[in-house]
Amino acid sequence: MSLNLGVLLRESAKKYPDRVAMVVGETKLTYATLHTYAQKLAGSLKKLGVERGQHVALMLPNVPHFTIAYFAVHYCGGVVVPLNVLLKGDEVQYHLEDSDAVALIAWEGFLEEAQKGFARADVCKDLVLAKADPADVTAPEGMHNMTALIGMGEAVTELPATDPDDTAVMLYTSGTTGKPKGAELTQFNMFYNAEYAGNRLMPLTENTVALATLPLFHSFGQTVIQNAVLGSGGTVVLLPRFDPVAAMGLMQQHAVTLFAGVPTMYFAILNHPEASNYDLSSLELCVSGGSAMPVEVMKAFDEKYGVNILEGYGLSETSPVASFNQLDQPKKAGSIGLPIWGVEFRLVDSDGNVVTETDKPGEICIRGHNVMKGYYKRPEVNAAQVKDGWFHTGDVGTRDDDGFYYIVDRKKDMIIRGGFNVYPREIEEVLYAHPAVIEAAVIGIPHESHGEEVKAIVALRAGQSATEEDIITYCKEKLAAYKYPRVVAFMDELPKGPTGKILKRELRS
């Protein structure tokens, strides 16, 4: 058998050719147009040399170009490598080299950093520039213009017969140590997760209108909004950067029925002083993930807008949906719900024994159709993290008598800032490269709207000096905007244990 994720767009284009698939600003694209653009771009990518199984990186925000490029790569039989648009040049270079991407499609607003990384990554041969103005088909020397490639492309009309176990998307995620790793998600992983979200979890129809303000380069927005909604024939309203006023305005203007967001987005809308000026009565479905939803925020939002926010849990490695509260039964506020259909959870203790008692914590392990095939070029990590088919998440949870799961702790040291995972080790490596810093540690501290904020604690070298502003500016130049520390504290020496390991628990106290 064969399976290609591009079937989601192809089938909706057949059934609903004249229905609006995507909206951004005043621009509306029908399914027929979106599908044709993807096919024509695929033709040009193939002419550039993109072959089946090769990797193409996308550094695009929530604009139609992301979706067009995404499905164009699938029409080439390739693998999509979505990159965070906030990455800096060094980070772009790393991701391109580590993923073996042969091409990079980048948005004009992020071209400077994209170009820096592209220029240093020898494996990546083609840089494609995406612009907002469809009439502008120019591009600097050595680049291709995406609009021009669509215009001159010979449409690829047949989806390649990729296998269900072929990699469809490579999502980069970080562990608590080391560099980001590419999670290889198969055609079936991504297809069925979108099918489940659109048909079992919510469900969606051709009348669904979804607001896409979760980044499409992130697994949550990509699967639950883009793929699930397009696969159902609905309309996706794009908001490239979340702003509560802009989000509420679009919800009212387009009678949005589905909103998916991280808790900070719900908090921002709920507490905005102008919220009462907007009519959000069209909302039917709301889902939350990315980090724990405060129970009081959930209750207040549900009551104010007459909705029922469903909270769930997942990771990049699980495509991402792994568990959710269900529409057909009462939800439990504060719970990540039940494992989705066909997926198993179990808890294991520090000795690897399965935890059978209710309310007793253990590491969440997941097995099912949603689990990645592995991390790209990381056989040792794969062996350690996936055992007997069970993916070890590193997250600690409990299970109640009804089988509902609760997160009680997260991956060691990880910070969740505004729904984005921030891994201290990566920031600490940047801090240690500062000429004035001799020791550094990064922790998360509570923040009212972001959930957590990034705090750096540093010790300076003898005879050296640096201010909080100096450290923040240094990190800001080398790290994506959601990663760099906003708070810096100084100590003469960081606390350490008997082996010399810095004791972060003391820094948090």
Task: Quick: pLDDT tens for 66-78.
Answer: 999 999 999 999 9
Using DSSP's 3-state secondary structure scheme, residue 242 falls into: coil
- Residue 184 scores a pLDDT above 90: yes
Tell me how far apart the terminal alpha carbons of the chain are, to the nearest angstrom. Answer: 56
Rounded CA separation 459/490 (Å): 6
- pLDDT exceeds cutoff 50 at 176: no
Phi first, then psi, for residue 79 (nearest 5°) are -115, 130
What average pLDDT does this structure show over 226-250?
97
Give the pLDDT band of residue 355 (cuts 50, 70, 90): very high
Q: Look at strands 338-339 and 374-375 and give their pairing.
A: unpaired
The single-letter code of the amino acid at 293 is: M
Over residues 469-489, the pLDDT tens digits come to: 999 999 999 999 999 999 999
pLDDT tens readout for residues 383-422? 999 998 999 998 889 999 999 999 886 666 788 899 887 8
Choose the weakest-confidence range: 164-178, 236-250, 367-381.
Answer: 164-178
Residue 175, pLDDT > 80, answer no
Is the pLDDT at 177 greater than 60, yes or no?
A: no
> What does the alpha-carbon distance between residue 72 and residue 87 come to, in Å, rounded to a whole number?
23
Least confident of 13-22, 172-181, 284-293: 172-181
Q: Where in the chain is the domain with CATH 3.30.300.30?
A: 415-508
Contacts 24+ apart (CB under 8 A), 363-367: 363/392, 363/393, 363/394, 363/395, 363/396, 363/397, 364/393, 364/395, 364/396, 364/397, 364/405, 364/407, 365/390, 365/391, 365/392, 365/393, 366/318, 366/322, 366/339, 366/390, 366/391, 366/393, 367/343, 367/391
What is the average pLDDT across 112-125? 97
* Amino acid 331: pLDDT: 93
Residue 115 has pLDDT above 50, yes or no: yes
In angstroms, the CA 81 to CA 99 distance is 8
Which of 196-200, 225-229, 498-502 is least confident? 498-502
- In this prediction, residue 157 carries a pLDDT of 97
CB atoms within 10 A of CB 158: 10
Across the chain, what does the average pLDDT equal?
94
| CATH code reported for the domain at 415-508 | 3.30.300.30
Rounded mean pLDDT of 18-46? 98
90 contacts: CB under 8 Å, gap ≥ 6: 116, 117, 478
- State the span(s) of the chain assigned CATH 3.40.50.12780: 189-409
What is the H or E stretch that residue 211 is in? strand 209-212
Could you count the other beta carbons within 10 Å of the beta carbon of residue 344?
Answer: 12
Which two tokens mark 215? 């980044």
What are 287-302's pLDDT values in tens digits? 998 877 878 889 999 9
Identify the CATH assignment for 189-409 out of 3.50.50.60, 1.10.3720.10, 3.30.70.890, 3.40.50.12780.
3.40.50.12780
- Asked if 494 contacts 507 with a C-beta cutoff of 8 angstroms, the reply is yes
DSSP secondary structure letter of residue 198: I
pLDDT at 499 over 50: no
- CATH 3.40.50.980: which residues of the chain? 7-12+32-185
pLDDT by residue (tens digit) across 328-337?
889 998 899 9
Confidence of residue 56 (pLDDT cuts 50, 70, 90): very high
Q: What is the largest CA-CA distance in the chain?
A: 71
Single pTM value for the model:
0.88
- Ranges 126-140, 269-283, 297-311, 420-434: which has the least confidence: 420-434
> What is the predicted pLDDT for the residue at 496?
78
If you search the block for the tokens 């997942």, which residue do you land on?
Answer: 314
Region 7-12+32-185: CATH code:
3.40.50.980
- pLDDT of the residue at 174: 67
